[in-house]
Structure 1
């Protein structure tokens, strides 16, 4: 062994230098910095800790049909149809396919490029080039070639590997963005659906109010014709009736616009879509928030931001590798002949090892600072992506806290609103009875009816707000909730991973 080392000092020196340069070219291991993560949510209820299990779904599985929490067959049907017909989702899937193709294109650089060629070359050589003067005879020649070529870049300093890593991270980012688009559309569809149901509830309230005010108008007209009521009372009753009609038509107009928006989400033209009226019932589903750290494993926008950061980090390695030699191994072999019939004779064989022009091993010495500028730019892009990643994390925590606070405060607000509505119903009932006995004026009845209408509408709107806040909380948590077990309390439970039939992002965080 000693004799081998002593006979090859140059080879050992080159190998040691190569390893040292490779170490300089390779950046340190990628480790995303999430910053400080709170141990718990500020507005999460403290009595649900034992009722749930935090989920850590892999990114290549579906997140669960979370909309089944609401036990609404119409919503379930709309959500089931969403993935096949929505054009926004189809465009996101096409972008994912593009990213996958780009990643395969980048990976192709890891392998030798092999090609073959066949064809003639016809050449006319000028008399001056052969030394016969400008007026000498010109020589013509035809050369037939049949060749194979091989080209391969030896990735000594990780340039190709870094490029492939960046393309893979970009593909993962696009995959996470596809999941984000899917979750966003699912949440938007549920929000639009519950808005329509809220407007249906309002229309139902207006319809009952219209019937009540029409009876009041008819009663006042009878009393007016009998001389027991003034014309002012009749016109006031008519005014309240027409005002209720106008409000009902306004709610109907809003409902039509909301239905059109839902039709677009469902991938249909508004003229082809119709949703029968169905007033909203109160949503009592409780969604557990889990731990803040679970967001890193659940939310696709965090996955996309982390993968963008990983891609930018990989491109730093590619930029640093440009400072070191680049070794490209090329070769050609085949046959050349002036006659096609003699092309494949053994004597016509030819080969070329090494590049046709230049050298195999290249190292730029001076480029006016171009490589350094590229390296600085790659570093700056990485720092930008780090900032965006942390911003995404903070926004995720804020969205969860916002919806937790909304749901926490909506519960007592709805209870107080229910009490106010019941009091208004009783007050309106008493006012009508006292008006019929003559102890109250018509103005008292109208005022009581107005108050009742306001309280009923406020109750319906709070019900709609609670339904949408529940949807927004599920969206903020990254999805992944199933319907409760039949007979159990209405509390969401974490869905088991399901095999994915659609494109899926890869792991969020890598060591």
Structure 2
């Protein structure tokens, strides 16, 4: 009979908990102003169909074999990503801990003892040992605090949103490290191209010095021309040597980004620059789904909203139920006999009458934290729009600068050749030729620097567009789409 009563009590309590109210505000994502198109879009790639949007391996658009080889290793071996993954796993465990409070705690306990006591006649001074007696018990117990006001469910909601934020943080960390790797590879390729350019310059300056030295031996020029030509060569050689430091540092950085010790990775010299990709930017509203940092801010906002409900629930009374069913017997023989059956049912209710404003303060703090999260979310969205606009403007303007510099390189190369021919003909001094040669080198380096920046802006644009990531990939559906089955 007691077991039936216990089951009925548990059934009733579960029904009460499942139909209980949830205090606190339900979450709705605040609206943000989203422009219909990017201001800097003219002159850049127009929005393309969704099928053309990068699906994850965005780095393949650069057609660089080193990028294609190393980028997949970031998600596996990068230690920053590994740390974010561990944080996500911990957040998921917290969801499990919070959800467990919705269910009863069931336990079993048993005990047994043996004892002997002495007995004697009062005043006689004679004691006798009684026989050894034994006793024992075997009991099952159930305890449960029904979630009548939704405090536990709000806590689950909060922890779930935090876990989603951790997952988006993992995606953001992965994307950040991937873009850092692409940046380092581009910098390495440009350094190799600069090494080749300076090596060609050194070779040319050696030839210039040979010609000047021959003319000096013939007595047809001023001795200062030899000094100028030699100094020019030595400066170029010094710059060439210095590039070795930059190259080594880029290789070391690449090794660390893929989770290797710097000495484990050796990258051969390759001056072929990655291809400049065409990046389909889509429309601004897609950033709200494609930027993992926006997803982090949005999920943090949802978590803070749920925390308000947790704080409000403290105003309401708490109820806990307990039940026990088992056997107890002394002596131990026949413990499981029906005559030794014992059971108990209990309930405990409590309510705070006065707390000097502590609960009010907790609710006020929760609401303030939510407002701060809303401001952070809106600020993150605005920052995302700024990032993309900056990338697009940089790519647009640098494309125009690159065209001008291409013409400038041709003119500087031709001017340098003409100046040196005029020097050999004796119509100009060597200073004029040296200035023309320096201008040629500087112009070529400027053109290479602009090409480098265009590639870096393209990498930045991929990152600022979310790299093909989507909020739909979160492990659990956002609160406003509760009808969608969680992944």
TM-score bucket of the superposed structures, by smaller chain: 0.7 to 0.9
> 1:108, 1:243 → 2: CA distance?
71
> How do 1:77-476 and structure 2 match up within 5 A?
77-120=69-112, 144-281=136-273, 283-354=275-346, 359-476=347-464
SS at match of 2:35: coil
Instruction: Answer whether contact 2:64 2:274 (CA < 8 A) is retained.
Output: no
Matching residue of 1:33: 30
TM normalised by structure 1 equals 0.83
CA RMSD after TM alignment:
2.8
Aligned twin of 2:49: 53
Counterpart CA distance in 2 for 1:418 and 1:75 is 27
Q: Map Cα deviations across residues 273-318 of structure 1 (whole Å, 9 max, x no partner).
A: 1111112437432212211111111001111111111011111111
Determine the C-alpha separation between the residues in 1 that align with 2:475 and 2:269.
38
Q: From the superposition, tell whether residues 412 and 47 of structure 1 become closer, same or farther in structure 2 (CA, over 3 Å).
A: closer
User: What corresponds to 1:43 in structure 2?
Assistant: 40
Q: Which moved more, 1:271-280 or 1:448-457?
A: 271-280
Pick one of 458, 461, 480 that aligns with 1:510. 480
Q: Distance in 2 between matches of 1:404 and 1:124?
A: 90
Contact 2:134–2:332 under 8 Å retained in 1: no
1:332 to partner: Cα distance: 1.2
Bigger shift: residues 455-464 or 330-339: 330-339
Q: How far apart, in 2, do the equivalents of 1:217 and 1:123 lie?
A: 110
Which SS does the other structure have where 1:340 is aligned?
coil
Partners in 1 of 2:20 and 2:146 — Cα distance? Answer: 12
Distance 1:48 1:230 in 2: 57
Give the secondary structure class of the aligned counterpart of 1:330: strand
How far did 1:438 drift? 1.5
Per the TM alignment, residue 120 of structure 1 is displaced from its structure 2 partner at its CA by 3.7
- How far apart are residue 363 of structure 1 and its match? 2.0
Q: How many residues align?
A: 452
Contact 1:192 1:262 in 2 (8 A): yes
Alpha-carbon shift at residue 473 of structure 1 (Å): 0.5
Q: CA deviation at 1:142?
A: 7.0
State how far apart, in whole Å, the 2-side matches of 1:90 and 1:450 are: 48
Which one scores higher on RCO, CA 8 angstroms, separation ≥ 6? 1
1:198 Cα deviation from its structure 2 partner: 0.9
Deviation at 1:361, TM superposition (A): 2.5
Q: Which runs of 5+ in 2 are unaligned?
A: 1-15, 118-129, 482-487
| Aligned-residue offset at 1:22 | 6.0
- Could you list the runs of 5+ residues in structure 1 that have no partner in the other structure? 1-17, 126-138, 482-496
Distance in 2, matches of 1:256 and 1:460, equals 20
> CA shift at 1:48, angstroms?
4.4
SS at match of 2:31: coil
| SS at structure 1 position matched to 2:30 | coil
After TM superposition, the structure 1 stretch with the greater mean CA deviation from structure 2, 278-287 or 155-164, is: 278-287
Instruction: Identify which range, 449-458 or 335-344, moves more after superposition.
Output: 335-344
Return the offset for 1:145: 2.4
Supply the distance in 1 between the matched residues of 2:436 and 2:38 (Cα, whole angstroms): 43
